[in-house]
Amino acid sequence: MKAVGLVVLAAFLVAFPSLASDPFVLSVGVVIASYAVLATGWNFVGGFTGYISLGHAAYSGLGGYATGLLILRAGLNPWVALVVGALVVAVLAVPVGIAALRVRGASFVIVSIAVVLVLLLVFQSWGSVTGGSDGLRVPRPFDADVLRPEQHQRFFHLHAVLLGVMLLCWWVIDRSRFGMGLKAIREDEDKARSLGVPTVRYKLAAFVVSAFFTALGGGLYALWFGFLDPIFQFSILVGSNMVLMSLLGGVRSLFGPLVGAVVVGYATEFSKAQYGDTQLHLVAMGVLLAVVVLFLPDGIIPALRGLVARLRPGQASIREVTQEELVRR
Amino acid sequence: MTGLRVEGLTKSYGGVRAVDDATVTFQHGRINALIGPNGSGKTTFFNCVTGMVKPDAGTVTYHGRDITGRPAHKIAHAGIGRSFQLCRVFPRLTAVENLLAAVRPGSVLRALAPARRKSDVDRAMALLTRVGIEHLAEVEARDLSYGQQKLLELAGVLMAEPDTILLDEPAGGVNPALVERIGELVRSLNAEGRTFLIVEHNMDVVMSLSDHVVVFDRGRPIASGPPDAVRADPLVLAAYLGG
């Protein structure tokens, strides 16, 4: 069942570009794939530890700028720049994580937002290096004879591969001892400490891994889109989107952020295409967030799983209990 | 020297000295009870010993090693386990996962090994069997009854292999049959060489279970000794038993 689902998903990801009716649909596909990468990156810290970072745009934005600047200022090959850039961001995430993870709950949310706002100001003001408010043009990684639709197709597949690697990592952590420790932190941090879980180290490790993947996502997006503006790169909205998508799909499910990204990404792009430059998609997102929190607190995937389980034989509300089971109670 | 030694331990919250210059020794191998009125500093004392809060002054030594103010997980590794007042489990983890969370990976590489390694699962199942809830192994902790959660918490503490166990009101809020069962568990674990430090208000439990009683009042011990002697101590009667 699970294997079949994975094969279908992989087949769809491979085939989507040839199924897409026109370059616009294809470009929407890339946008949604990028959302999925960012949300899944966020979920390494959000889903496992329960620390809700509203400021993860800091790491996607830094990843984008690091990639662009390494190409422009250091003359690196774009793909090398992408990986080196993400590693730089991971290193930067260590002191940020040490400071931010000292506080929990709402305080952590505020700190995470503060980081993005600081970065926004820095990248806007430090024009000589970052291009400032005028933005930064990132050179295309492919030759000029690779046309737009072909570009979209390649980037769609690059995003899909990155997403695949991230999902694999998430899966490995999810079933590992490290992952069990992280989930213990999410459920009750003090209790976890008392049982011997090195909470500070574990949280920091998850945070750095999350920043690394989110930066890769940001860098890949920068290479595709070709232009970075601080106001969009270091935006609370981008970070909130990652949170909304993950919550919608289910933060404790491997594919939760992906499902959320498809739903939110499709809805956003649809309303942008239909209603143009109105901010209606923001209203729709707000409503969606409220609905999720009120009616699907665990997300779509656990809700669906619960529904399927209810329909299965032997899971009905009237249960047959064997005598042995009764005695054991 | 073996056992837990606390000297001059002090912890204030605002103007309140929750623990005030407390000096007390718990010898290894005993079942010690810690009694005293509400607000006498028993739980704060626990929190200082287990590293959940940093004491303002004083030292805690365990088997001769200074563990004062060390991080909680290091103190757990040193062999001190604890339960919490009102019981704390990981609500959205299953019973067996609640135990697996207490497994120490050892190295970075082994931290990425599957949590459900057979030897660990077997050990967890053995502990769940010991406390009598093995049939609930795959049930999420939040779906267990309060009593079952108490048993699960105890099993989780044991999973970390402590040789000294601090229990904060193990008999609080559970039915008499379960109180009896928890008492038996404590006795058999003690027979295997584990030391206990139990905060408890249920005097029957304290008197029947413990070898040694320490009475707290206003943040410090005012009396200690065998249960019968403490029960007769006039200071204790005045402070706690209401005379």
Interchain pair A180, B50: CB under 8 A: no
Q: DSSP 3-state assignment of B109?
A: helix
Residue A304 has pLDDT above 90, yes or no: no
Number of structural domains (chain B) is: 1
pLDDT band at A118, cuts 50/70/90? very high
Interchain pair A183, B93: CB under 8 A: yes
**Of B88, B113, B114, Cβ closest to residue A191:** B88
pLDDT digits (tens, 9 = 90+) for B106-123: 888 889 999 999 999 999
* Residues 244 through 263 of chain A touching chain B, CB cutoff 8 Å: 252
User: What residue type is assigned to position A314 of the chain?
Assistant: G
pLDDT band at A267, cuts 50/70/90? confident
| Separation CA B156–CA B89 (nearest Å) | 8
**Of A173, A191, A198, Cβ closest to residue B90:** A191
| Separation CA A21–CA A24 (nearest Å) | 8
Interface with A, mutate which of B48, B70, B77, B90 (most A CBs under 10 A)? B90
pLDDT (0 to 100) of residue A90:
97
Greater confidence, A128 or A147?
A: A128
**Of B81, B113, B135, Cβ closest to residue A328:** B135
pLDDT digits (tens, 9 = 90+) for B133-177: 999 999 999 999 999 999 999 999 999 999 999 999 998 888 999
| Separation CA B212–CA A266 (nearest Å) | 67
pLDDT digits (tens, 9 = 90+) for A175-207: 999 999 999 999 999 999 999 999 999 999 999
What's the whole-number mean pLDDT along residues A308-318?
66
Asked if residues B6 and B58 have their Cβ atoms less than 8 Å apart, the reply is: yes
What's the whole-number mean pLDDT along residues A316-324?
56
User: What residue type is assigned to position B18 of the chain?
Assistant: A
pLDDT (0 to 100) of residue A278:
75
| Separation CA A10–CA A16 (nearest Å) | 10
Half-sphere exposure of A92 (CA within 13 A, CB side): 19
B91 touches chain A (CB under 8 A): yes
Interchain pair A191, B97: CB under 8 A: no
What's the whole-number mean pLDDT along residues A51-64?
95
pLDDT digits (tens, 9 = 90+) for A135-157: 999 998 988 788 878 889 999 99
Nearest to A257 by CA among A269, A243, A268: A243
A329 vs B contacts (CB less than 8 Å):
135
A206 vs B contacts (CB less than 8 Å):
none
pLDDT band at A327, cuts 50/70/90? low
Interchain pair A177, B82: CB under 8 A: no
B105 touches chain A (CB under 8 A): yes
Percent of chain A residues past pLDDT 70, beyond the cut: 95
**Of A176, A181, A200, Cβ closest to residue B113:** A176
pLDDT band at B129, cuts 50/70/90? very high
The dihedrals phi and psi of B184, each to the nearest 5 degrees, come to: -65, -40
What's the whole-number mean pLDDT along residues A95-123?
93
User: What residue type is assigned to position A169 of the chain?
Assistant: C
Residue count (chain A) = 329
Interchain pair A200, B71: CB under 8 A: yes
Q: ipTM score here?
A: 0.92
| Separation CA B53–CA B8 (nearest Å) | 16
Residue A259 has pLDDT above 70, yes or no: yes
What's the whole-number mean pLDDT along residues A211-219?
97
CA A197 to chain CA centroid, nearest Å: 26
Residue-range definition of the domain harbouring residue B198:
4-241
Residue B137 belongs to domain with CATH number? 3.40.50.300
Asked if residues B215 and B224 have their Cβ atoms less than 8 Å apart, the reply is: yes
Greater confidence, B49 or B242?
A: B49
Can you give the residue ranges of every domain in chain A?
Answer: 2-232
pLDDT band at B243, cuts 50/70/90? very low
Asked if residues A243 and A52 have their Cβ atoms less than 8 Å apart, the reply is: yes
B106 touches chain A (CB under 8 A): no
Q: Is the dihedral of CA A207, A83, A95, A132 positive or negative?
A: negative
